A and B are shown apart, each in its own frame.
Chain A
């Protein structure tokens, strides 16, 4: 594929992610942090985020399937997830986490499980989207182009 085409796709795809609310301005912040001295910053951070999130989600799943749910722990985990997702601008996860925390406050197991499902879903969605984005990036780089800078 032509570099220009790839770049256009990249821009459009990124725009759609913002438009559909998967990402917010914080992600732009991350992109701005990426420079020559730190060319893979976004990928690094996001990978870390994936790693961290998966761990947290596993912990959460475990914690919520326990006989007696330790909501304090659950809440702490969700808080973590919320913090990291908001840091990378994964808006929808963050929002799901906010709801999740409310149910943690209420100690509502059922709703918490539901929220967990939702967070998981949002997570996998964002993960897919970002993976696609990064693949695009790689393709652009591989094709010798530069990654367009988003506004």
Chain B
């Protein structure tokens, strides 16, 4: 020891020798004292080091010194002795210290072991998660990652499946390397064993840093088979326990084997699960922790390693739990969503039901208002009523939309193809908007001349879109104007195939159409013209005739196709025209008002996502078009949608309420403004409510006088009266009137084998008018009371009412004009006057079932009606050929000819004025019996639309649709009963 010291510190000592010379002598005694002093006191350690410093200095110098004197040599000897003593003391102290440390270490270790024991099966605490596999599944994911994980300090070795040995071996080797690296620096000789054993505890894999056995000696064997001696069994049992409990555990086991001698191993064993959650084996990690002092450190580290693993596991567990929680939260969220969806569905269902509920009374209100509009009103009242009608109509529309919306959202929305007049739609939308307009804005509508008068499309939706766009525009426009422009554009997607041809073909049809439309219009035009320019009426008349004669085929075609499916019928003639609709405003522009919702998709077109507009986009796309918007901030926006419409060249249909069903509603409100159909420009100036509507349609608008209203009202009533008159003389007269007029509108005098019209036209009219004069008010009441009372009928039905009344207006208004002209407009001022002299409505029951006939007849009798009964469709047609009925109750299923066909034939007659369709269907034309015209004038059938009520056994919607599609107005489900019949009669009989 001394020598060592000498060598080591030789150079350093030179300096210190001199300085230490003196003190050494002086302090000798003190030193000794000092040395003695640190007995059992641990604090002495510091002093020991202090003392040590001078001792380093000594030896060489001392030797030199001793050479000088005896005294020195004795001194040296003493010093050496002293030093040796000191050394011994230090060693003793160190030993003590070490012991102490050891003791502490052991204590700590004990504590740690205790902790370990404590945590051995602590996984049980995660019992809430009954599927430990879920953790493993997570771990399982690292399979692919294993090779890349070489640098990760500790890989999650836990729970890896040893199915693919190759990967596993790599993994385990890697794992072992880690451990080695971990411990290697400190104690490279440390034996670490890592292995995997299957369910029978046979080794499937083993890693041993100091292999004393070949792999083949171990793989496939159990501990017991490999080793013998103490501890082997224990370890085997320990592993089995882990296997059974399915929870990892640690234990220190001392082995006493022939192979290794006495060794203590700290073993960590953990179960391995298959994906299905079964235990398929254990992973085993052992480390030699046999007795050496420094083993403690290693052991600690091992324990720390295991603890770290534990911690990691716990972290993972936490993560898993967290994920579980997240999943649970997601699930809850999902459930909530489902719940909300269900709620929404229910709410929607309720909404739908409610809408139905609301619709019924509302339609009552609207139809009553419509009927009110046919009464004598002054200008202001009429305008107010019009607004009321528009609004009521809109509410109805809205309710329908709600119903539609639920349809759209449930994906079952059907587009309806109905014929409508774009000009009317535009006008009506503007009118409605004007009605609720509270700003000084001008609403205008421009419809280009090339836009067909009538097109086929889903008018409801188009109207809805227009209405919303307009109301949006109004909302964001503070001054200037808001308007709609309609014009025909070439097909926007020329790639679509036939499109182009169609368009070209369209041109002709369209013009043809317009021509026909002109005729139609001319009819309506004449309404107004007649009022103010009687003289001109004659000019109009021939024009009508001319046009019709030009196209005599059309009605025939129409008839022929009437037998076919309605749709087919449409397809036969239709062509497509693309109409662009711009809704423009001079408002604040988009950047402000749609800022949040906007997403600019390209330079000019902006798609936007407000709910309703978004819906409209969908709708427009559904209809085959697209909706775009362009806007300039502060200058306004233009919403544009381009849609394809079918154009039917058959104009006659326009008078058919069936096909105009939707517009029919609106017609009611605007029927007095019929001439607008032809006008391409509408303007609604900001005004007071009283004068909402002004149309500057090339001068025609000015004719929108109170007279006009009065007229149409009168005619409407008159029309009713005609229907209801059964009193012979009056009846005949009125019928003649109508028939004459019908003939006028239908214009095939020769075909209908009617007599010299001119004479007829003139003679009875004024008389009859006078005769009717007094009755008007009673009649009014009589006619309109009932519907007032029963406003709760279904909307569909009430719509039918509109439909029935309207076409009559259209025709009769036109027809009556000529009369009124001739009768010097006396009636226009005298108001509606109709004779009702005990007249009873004539009702026809078409029913093959005797029992049903009997029951229905008897019910009708109780309701005060005598009815004619026929037994099948052919007989029904015959009956209609011979009599004018006010109502037909038509069974659907009948032998010989069913009700649907009969209805079609009757409708065909009403439209064309001839029975060609019936003849084509093989029904011989019955001429009315001669005695039906007591005045000696031949009986003339009315072509007014007779309400036909289907009586259907299965009141399913399809069946109802079929009825409507075939021209029936409503249906009564069988068996008929009082309330049903009553309601029906009240609704359809004037």
Contact = CB atoms under 8 A, between A and B. Distances in A.
Contacts, number: 58
Interface residues of A, number: 24
B414 to A, nearest CB: 26
B125 interface: no
Interface stretch (A44-52, A62-70, A104-112, A137-145): A44-52
A48 B975 contact: no
Contacts of B976: 87
B859 A88 contact: no
Interface stretch (A2-10, A26-34, A121-129): A26-34
B893 interface: yes
Nearest to A45: B854
Interface string B592-636: 000000000000000000000000000000000000000000000
Contact of B848 (A25, A33, A80): A80
B862 A88 contact: no
Nearest to B895: A76
A92 interface: no
A133 B850 CA distance: 23
Contact of B849 (A26, A33, A80): A80
A94 B858 CA distance: 21
Nearest to A29: B977
A83 interface: yes
B37 interface: no
Contacts of A35: 862
A38 B977 CA distance: 17
Nearest to B893: A79
Nearest to A85: B851
B974 A33 contact: no
Given A26-B977, A29-B978, A76-B895, A87 B858 contact: no
B953 A88 contact: no
A30 B855 contact: yes
Interface string B742-770: 00000000000000000000000000000
B566 interface: no
Contacts of B975: 26, 29, 86-87, 89
A33 B858 contact: yes
Interface string B277-292: 0000000000000000
Contacts of B861: 38
B852 interface: yes
A84 B851 contact: yes
B851 A48 contact: yes
A38 to B, nearest CB: 7
A13 B855 CA distance: 23
A33 B895 contact: no
B436 to A, nearest CB: 46
Contact of A83 (B851, B862, B977): B851
Contacts of B850: 48, 52, 84
Interface centre among B852, B855, B859, B978, by most A CB within 10 Å?
A: B855
A33 to B, nearest CB: 5
Given A48-B850, A80-B848, A80-B849, A86 B977 contact: no
A18 interface: no
B852 A83 contact: yes
Contacts of B978: 29, 32
Nearest to A28: B977
B953 A48 contact: no
Contacts of A82: 953
Interface centre among A25, A44, A86, by most B CB within 10 Å?
A: A86
Q: Which 4 pairs between the two chains have the least Cβ-Cβ distance?
A: A84-B851, A83-B849, A86-B975, A87-B851
Interface of A: 25-26, 29-30, 32-33, 35, 38, 41, 44-45, 48-49, 52, 76, 79-80, 82-84, 86-89
Interface of B: 848-852, 854-855, 858-859, 861-862, 893, 895, 953, 974-978
20 contacts: A29-B977, A33-B859, A33-B862, A38-B858, A41-B858, A45-B851, A48-B854, A52-B850, A52-B851, A80-B849, A82-B953, A83-B851, A83-B852, A83-B893, A83-B974, A84-B850, A87-B851, A87-B855, A87-B975, A87-B976
Given A80-B848, A87-B855, A89-B975, 20 more contacts: A29-B855, A29-B977, A29-B978, A30-B855, A33-B855, A33-B862, A35-B862, A38-B861, A41-B858, A45-B851, A48-B854, A79-B893, A82-B953, A83-B852, A84-B852, A86-B974, A86-B975, A87-B852, A87-B974, A88-B851
